[in-house]
Structures are given as C-alpha cells and as structure tokens.
C-alpha cells in the first residue's frame, strides 16, 4: 500500500542553520504530498503541500519540491529559528486516503 | 469561530468511567476523522465519516464508539478504557467534493486513563 518514510529524529540545530528533513514515498497513483507541523501541546497544522510533480510548496520560509523521479518531498529551510522547534510530519493523500510518516522532532537552540 | 475545535482539551478518567470527546468543524467540510497519537508511534487513523456515514473503521476496539450526528459534529464515546488508551486524540476534517484532500486538524484531547 501507499506509505511515507521520513528521516528519524531527533534533529538538533543551532539558530540560523540550514534544515533538511528527508521524506520519500511509495504510491501506486499520483498522490498529493504534504508537510504538517505539530507544536508542543497542539494538533497538526498544514505547513505546505504540492499536488503534482515539480510543484514547489512553500510557507514561512519552508520549501519542499514534489520529485516524481526520486519519489521524494524533502523539507528545507535556509535559516531556522528557535520558534521552529516542533515535530514535522510528511504525508501523502490519494483518493482521500491520507498516510503519515512517523514524524521528525526538530529542536533549534539559540 | 473558525477551524476545528475539540473539547475537552484534557481528560483524566478511570477504567470504569464513561466519557465523550467532542469535535466541531466550522469549515463546511463533509468528511471528519478521528486519529490516535501515542508517544513514539505513528499517527493511527481510527474512524472516517463522510456525509455522516462511517466509511472506515480501522479495527478499533468496541470500547471506542464514534457518533456523527451531522457533518459539523463528531463525537468519540469512551467506556471501560485501558491505560494503554492514554494518548492524544485528534479530530480532522476535509472537503472531499471538488477533489480537495487537505485535512485540517483540531488541537486534540489529551486523554489519560488511570
């Protein structure tokens, strides 16, 4: 079945460092791809999405590009802040069936 | 009020209690979901409702009983729970008409079973 694999955490970075969180997927169709973020004590919030190959989703300085050839949707940010500390989930959806990765915890230190 | 709301935000219950979790979405969506999020485990889909009809039940124990009286409200009735049911329960909604597949989540109910 369809699935998502994302890099295990935790990831610890210093403020202003470059962030990459890897995500790859397996799907039989052409899914939409998502990154959700979960701040402490809260639910999941949509961070960005891409619906077709070569689309780039972006929000709050985060970016991810839908790469069909490598079945990837890696999350990047050029300069992280302490306030970016959270758990990040990669997900795919096809025919309203959404599958989530296990989540990657990011801690950014001042 | 906008988005997806859940009440209560925190709940502590004994194994013999009966309680209910409530979810309300103000987005005009037609589908609603219950997820369970346990520590160090992937997000688990529990139930899916589409136009008030249950379309998915992922082998959830009968001590969890969902109810969807209309497209805006979703309940999860709890009875005789076990300590391993302690988790964050998340509600989500989406609009399936028109091909959208983005799910919008509530803040969750943190459940502790003693």
More confident of the two residues A83 and A9: A83
Q: Which residues of A7-38 are buried (b: 16+ CB within 10 A; e: fewer)?
A: beeebebeeeeebebbbbbebeeebbbbbbbb
Radius of gyration of chain B (CA): 13
**Alpha carbons B61 and B113: distance in angstroms, whole number:** 15
In DSSP terms, which residues pair with A97 in a beta bridge?
Answer: A94
Tell me the residues of chain A between 41 and 60 that have a Cβ less than 8 Å away from chain B: 41-46, 49
A37 contacts chain B (CB < 8 A): no
Answer whether A103 sits within 8 Å of B42, measured CB to CB: yes
pLDDT value at residue A95: 81
CB contact set of A40 (below 8 Å; sequence gap of 6+): A86
Mean pLDDT score of chain B, rounded to an integer?
A: 91
Give which of B24, B38, B43 to mutate to test A binding, by max A Cβ within 10 Å: B43
Sign, Cα dihedral of A3, B62, B37, B31: positive
pLDDT value at residue A46: 95
pLDDT digits (tens, 9 = 90+) for B48-87: 998 777 877 778 999 999 999 998 999 999 999 999 999 9
Q: How many CB pairs under 8 A join A and B?
A: 40
pLDDT value at residue B2: 65
- Look at residue B1 and tell me whether its pLDDT is greater than 70: no
Answer whether A45 sits within 8 Å of B105, measured CB to CB: yes
Answer whether A43 sits within 8 Å of B101, measured CB to CB: no
Query: Within chain A, what is the greatest distance between any pair of CA atoms?
Result: 43
């Amino acid at each position: 079945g369809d699935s998502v694999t994302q890099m295990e955490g935790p990831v610890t970075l210093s403020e202003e460092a470059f962030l990459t969180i890897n995500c790859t997927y397996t799907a039989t169709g052409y899914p939409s791809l998502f990154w959700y973020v979960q701040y402490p004590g809260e639910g999941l919030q949509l961070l960005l999405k891409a619906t077709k190959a070569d689309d780039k989703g972006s929000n709050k300085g985060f970016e991810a590009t839908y790469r069909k050839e490598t079945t990837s949707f890696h999350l990047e940010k050029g300069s992280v802040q302490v306030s970016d500390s959270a758990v990040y989930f990669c997900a795919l959806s096809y025919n309203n069936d959404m599958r989530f990765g296990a989540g990657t915890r990011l801690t950014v230190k001042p | 009020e906008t988005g997806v709301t859940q009440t209560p935000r925190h709940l502590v219950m004994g194994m013999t209690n009966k309680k209910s979790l409530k979810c309300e979405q103000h987005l005009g969506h037609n589908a609603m979901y219950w997820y369970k999020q346990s520590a160090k485990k992937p997000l688990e889909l529990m139930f899916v409702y589409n136009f008030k009809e249950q379309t998915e039940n992922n082998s959830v124990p009968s001590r969890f009983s969902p109810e969807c009286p209309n497209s805006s409200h979703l309940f999860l009735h709890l009875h005789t729970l076990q300590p391993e049911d302690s988790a964050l329960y998340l509600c989500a909604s989406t609009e399936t008409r028109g091909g959208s597949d983005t799910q919008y989540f509530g803040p969750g109910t943190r459940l502790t079973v003693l």
